[in-house]
Amino acid sequence: MSAARSRLPGGRLHFQHGPIDIVIGADGDARAVAAAHEDAWRRFATVLDELVAELPALRRPVGETCPLEGVVARRMWEACRPFRDRFVTPMAAVAGSVAQELVASYARDGVTRAWVNNGGDIALHLASGHAVRIGLFADIGRLAPAVASGDPGIDAEFVVDEAMPVRGVATSGWRGRSLSLGIADSVTVLARTAAEADAAATMIANAVDVDEPRIVRRPAREVRDDSDLRDLPVTVDVPSLDAVQVHEALRSGCARARAIVEAGRAWSATLVCQGWVADVRDPAPRRLPGPAARRDACEASHGAAAA
């Protein structure tokens, strides 16, 4: 199957190739934006084949020396390298790394801001004086019907401006499209790059956990036969837990997040589990407010949305 592209409402573009599904938005001079879109499309058409060519190595745990050759593949490895004290493969940063590769096409005169949204992992370009609003959707089960209704309320929001050391946003959790070792509904990370945000979100989400026999876990390769997680037990169902258990899980995740932020590998992290939320800068669990009305159009995805 070859890469395909189409236009979406609001001037956005949709790129799709195999499992890669991307929505792009950009503002600025019309000719500069159009040229950036074309460059991004040409680059996108080659990315999947490059990754497939190195897939066996990408599914092996990160070690001391990078065995990869492709630009995106090496970026994935570098983003995961700080976490090699635990089991992690470069695939933990694949979505963010692809988004980061494409957003480079928009770093040019005339493009004031751009976002490349790869299934909720978002790479940003912000020219001087510009900002983007990020909306957080904690419950992926609510997202699709909310978007279809035309009124997707968001659970939280934050603004990333040009002066902040943040150009990547990523979300991980057991309810998302990727497998997780933990029980977080969502962990949303802001970091210097999309690849770094993706890797950090994966590791923090794995740490949001509690010892509870009712949580259902299965070997990863039984859930997805091509999983890079092999026989590690991944979460497939989480029953309703009491507040004490949820708080324990969030505290565990916040401890991991705090270490990652203090090491300079992320800017912030917001953790959500069963209606409770904690932030690396405010780790005391608190009730997640009800979904707020969306103030204007935004790019919907699990965990994060850009506007």
- Which tokens go with 135? 């909306």
Lowest mean pLDDT among 108-112, 132-136, 204-208, 274-278: 132-136
State the pLDDT confidence band at 294, using cuts at 50, 70 and 90: very low
Question: What's the length of the chain?
Answer: 307
Would the pLDDT of 53 be above 70?
yes
pLDDT of residue 295: 39
pLDDT of residue 307: 61
Spatial CA neighbour of 228 closest among 55, 72, 106: 55
Q: How many whole angstroms separate alpha carbon 129 and alpha carbon 139?
A: 32
Assign 3-class secondary structure to 214-277.
CCEEEEHHHHCCCCCCCCCEEEEECCCCCHHHHHHHHHHHHHHHHHHHHCCCCCEEEEEECCEE
Q: How many whole angstroms separate alpha carbon 162 and alpha carbon 170?
A: 18
pLDDT (tens digit, 9 = 90+) per residue, 150-197? Answer: 555 678 888 999 999 999 999 999 987 789 999 999 999 999 999 999
Would the pLDDT of 304 be above 70?
no
What is the domain count for the chain? 1
Lowest mean pLDDT among 122-131, 170-179, 227-236: 170-179
Q: Per-residue b/e over 210-242, b at no fewer than 16 CB within 10 Å?
A: beeeebebeebeeeeeebbbeebebbeebeebe
- pTM of the predicted structure, to 2 decimals: 0.92
129 near 162, Cβ under 8 Å? yes
> What's the domain range around 237?
4-306
Please provide the average confidence, as pLDDT, over all residues in the chain: 91
pLDDT of residue 302: 44
pLDDT (tens digit, 9 = 90+) per residue, 76-121? Answer: 999 999 999 999 999 999 999 999 999 999 999 999 999 999 999 9
- Which tokens go with 113? 């801001």
233 beta partners: 219
The CATH number assigned to the domain holding 58 equals: 3.10.520.10
Cα first-last separation, the chain: 31
